[in-house]
């Protein structure tokens, strides 16, 4: 029973390129959350998705960032035209039902994005 799988672990992009981060939730989990950890900071909520639906995207930057969780396949966090300030660790977490925050989410190992 694999945990939350994120890939790639490390991603280097030049300014202006696109970054695509993938997250496969735990088996049986249909809820996915993305968090961003900037250097020397805590994790900040970005977006909460269920299969084919965005439930809460209040933490997403208004431009260049998008997320999806299709019926089949992993959740994708997409960053267009990356800038140096996007350099961070991006973590994905999953749960099997809404309102299960009391059980704590299962986090992936993260994708560390470096924009050069």
Partner 1 sequence: AQSVTQLDSQVPVFEEAPVELRCNYSSSVSVYLFWYVQYPNQGLQLLLKYLSGSTLVESINGFEAEFNKSQTSFHLRKPSVHISDTAEYFCAVSETSGSRLTFGEGTQLTVNP
- Based on CB atoms, which residue is closest to partner 1, 85 or 99? 99
Q: Residues 81-110 vs partner 1: string with x where CB under 8 A?
A: ----------x-x-x--xxxxxxxx-xxxx
Touching partner 1, residues 24-53 (CB under 8 A): 31, 33, 35, 41-45, 48
Residue number, 52 or 56, with CB nearest to partner 1: 56
3-state secondary structure the chain: CCCCEEECCEEEECCCCCEEEEEECCCCCCEEEEEEECCCCCEEEEEEEECCEEEECCCCCCCCEEEECCCCCCEEEEECCCCHHHCEEEEEEEECCCCCHHHCCEECCCEEEEEC
């Amino acid at each position: 029973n694999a945990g939350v799988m994120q890939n790639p672990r490390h991603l280097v992009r030049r300014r202006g390129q696109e970054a695509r981060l993938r997250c496969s939730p735990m088996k049986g989990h249909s809820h996915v959350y993305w968090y961003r950890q900037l250097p020397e900071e805590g994790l900040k909520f970005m977006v909460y998705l269920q299969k084919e639906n965005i439930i809460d995207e209040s933490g997403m930057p208004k431009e260049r960032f998008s997320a999806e969780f299709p019926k089949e396949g992993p959740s994708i966090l997409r960053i267009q035209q990356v800038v140096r300030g996007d350099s961070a660790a991006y973590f994905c977490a999953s749960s099997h039902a809404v309102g299960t925050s009391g059980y704590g989410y299962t986090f992936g190992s993260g994708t560390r994005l470096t924009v050069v």
